[in-house]
Amino acid sequence: MGNYVPCSSLPPRVTQVPDRRKVCVVVASRANLARITTVLEAVRDHPALELQVIAAASALLQRFGGAVDMLKAAGFTPDAEIRLIIDGQTPATMAKSTGLGLLELPTAFERLEPDVVVTVADRFETMATAVAAAYMNITVAHTQGGEVSGSIDESIRHAVTKLSHLHFAATELSARRILALGEDPPYVFNAGCPAIDLAARNHLGTRRDALAKHAGGGSPIDPEQPFLLIIQHAVTTEYGRSPDQIHATLRAISSIGMQALVFSPNVDAGSYELAVGIQQFRDQGVADRCHFCPNVPAEDFIRLMAHCACMIGNSSAALREGAYLGTPAVNVGSRQQGRECGRNVVSTSHDPREIAEAVRDQIAHGPYAQEGLFGNGTAGRQIADVLARVRPPVQKRLSYDPAALLAEAFV
């Protein structure tokens, strides 16, 4: 793959550097936090780096999980808190929130003067972060680029890749796609997904352990009985269909008759409609075996994934951590369309009968063998090591050789 350098071939971590590089990590949602926690830890502990943290967007909102509280509980005090969510969860408010982030983030960057800004994955806050830092001549480091999926996330992800200077892909194929987009090989690294680090080090315990810290509303959960885990987000490019889509999933779950944990959606356009759909389902009195939960810490969620009979919905966690844990999963709809996944995942449409049949098959199969598709549990340290030693120019150049990159990327 040309000059592409896997993280595993990097030299050992730097032990003494006189001037530490200031690395600013923007945590903008509960999903962000799960996908970047071990990077925060590794940067904080690295002798050549100084950690800065910005908490922003839905990470500051309790109804979307209050990730800032978990961030602080983990020992990371934000250097800035930026409120940029315009309420409504429509396509228009999503676009306006991105603009508000572009107004507010530069002020924080001016004050903190970071050398590197780390932005996560493919959300609208990720776009605002990358645009602001790139315009301010700050090195942008992007995690989880090069992946393929549904929703507007697909476009945002690749746009952020073109704004970024350092690329930390979660899989080998994703790294190849980043190269195919014309990124410079010396600055593209297959580090794995930091969320796998949490799964790898987690003491999974028993099903009772997994449910011990759980809180929510609805039917009680019996820790002695198997349970289903449901987390379904709105699909921004299918705005207006969220109520019907979540109703289909919940009807399928009810027809199976097994107790289920149902988690709240994220802040994307359509999430309000989806939340209303969940509430309507509860009001209809057919959710008698469903327990509804707004959020739990990432480590607790991993334990729930490890012990559930099947995970249903459209969260990428089913594909990422699910592959590592061997969690039987049913991926519903188009939100993860085209994303790499392990043998643990079966995909369906929004037809309730199809969903129910797939869930029953997955329950009958039981846990899958562990797969390391998204990494081996060392992503955080690898990313910190690269941030300490690799200093790309802020002036980017297109590195594009169709014969060497495109053909190799899509064999």
As for how many domains the chain has, the answer is 2
**Average pLDDT along the chain:** 90
Q: Judging by beta carbons within 10 Å of its beta carbon (0-12, 13-18, 19+), is residue 364 exposed, middle or buried? A: exposed
d(CA 253, CA 261): 10
**Whole-model pTM?**
0.89
User: At residue 52, does pLDDT exceed 60?
Assistant: yes
Instruction: Say whether both 164 and 206 belong to one domain.
Output: no
Mean pLDDT of 311-329: 97
Residue 302: inside a domain, yes or no?
A: yes
Instruction: Say whether both 265 and 338 belong to one domain.
Output: yes
Instruction: Say whether both 297 and 330 belong to one domain.
Output: yes
What the block records as the tokens of 41 is 């830890």
Mean pLDDT of 196-204: 95
Residue 28: inside a domain, yes or no?
A: yes
- H or E segment to which residue 311 belongs: strand 310-313
| pLDDT given at position 337 | 93
Instruction: Say whether both 177 and 135 belong to one domain.
Output: yes
What the block records as the tokens of 267 is 């802040």
How confident is the model over 264-286, as pLDDT tens digits? 888 888 888 888 888 888 777 76
Residue with tokens 């607790």: 300
How confident is the model over 171-192, as pLDDT tens digits? 999 999 999 999 999 999 999 9
| pLDDT given at position 384 | 98
Instruction: Say whether both 14 and 146 belong to one domain.
Output: yes
d(CA 67, CA 59): 5
Residue 140: inside a domain, yes or no?
A: yes
Mean pLDDT of 151-175: 96
What is the residue type of 188? V
Distance from chain centroid for Cα 114: 23
DSSP 110-174: HHH--SEEEEETT-HHHHHHHHHHHHTT-EEEEESTT---STTHHHHHHHHHHH-SEEEESSHHH
Where residue 10 falls among pLDDT bands split at 50, 70, 90? very low
User: At residue 109, does pLDDT exceed 90?
Assistant: yes
d(CA 398, CA 162): 9
User: At residue 18, does pLDDT exceed 90?
Assistant: no
296 is in which domain, residue-wise? 202-365
Please give the span between the terminal C-alpha atoms of the chain, in angstroms, as a whole number.
Answer: 12
Instruction: Say whether both 225 and 307 belong to one domain.
Output: yes
Distance from chain centroid for Cα 113: 26
How confident is the model over 286-295, as pLDDT tens digits? 667 888 887 7
| pLDDT given at position 89 | 85
Where residue 296 falls among pLDDT bands split at 50, 70, 90? confident
| pLDDT given at position 405 | 53
Q: Which of 16-20, 126-130, 241-245, 277-281 has the highest mean pLDDT?
A: 126-130
| pLDDT given at position 17 | 47
- H or E segment to which residue 189 belongs: strand 188-190
Residue 50: inside a domain, yes or no?
A: yes
Instruction: Say whether both 225 and 360 belong to one domain.
Output: yes
Alpha-carbon dihedral sign for residues 198, 203, 206, 212:
negative
Instruction: Say whether both 282 and 300 belong to one domain.
Output: yes
Instruction: Say whether both 139 and 238 belong to one domain.
Output: no
Query: Who has greater pLDDT, 112 or 236?
Result: 112
Query: Who has greater pLDDT, 363 or 284?
Result: 363
Mean pLDDT of 317-323: 96
d(CA 14, CA 46): 8
| pLDDT given at position 400 | 65
Q: Phi and psi of 230, rounded to 5°?
A: -120, 125
Residue 135: inside a domain, yes or no?
A: yes
User: At residue 45, does pLDDT exceed 60?
Assistant: yes
CATH code of 312's domain: 3.40.50.2000
Residue 335: inside a domain, yes or no?
A: yes
| pLDDT given at position 14 | 41
Residue 1: inside a domain, yes or no?
A: no
Q: What does the angle CA 249 – CA 252 – CA 257 come to, to the nearest 5 degrees?
A: 130
| pLDDT given at position 11 | 40
Instruction: Say whether both 46 and 87 belong to one domain.
Output: yes
Instruction: Say whether both 359 and 229 belong to one domain.
Output: yes
- CB of 119 closer than 8 Å to CB of 103: no
Residue 2: inside a domain, yes or no?
A: no
- CB of 148 closer than 8 Å to CB of 154: yes
| pLDDT given at position 411 | 47
Instruction: Say whether both 186 and 217 belong to one domain.
Output: no
Mean pLDDT of 143-162: 95
Mean pLDDT of 98-113: 97
| pLDDT given at position 66 | 84
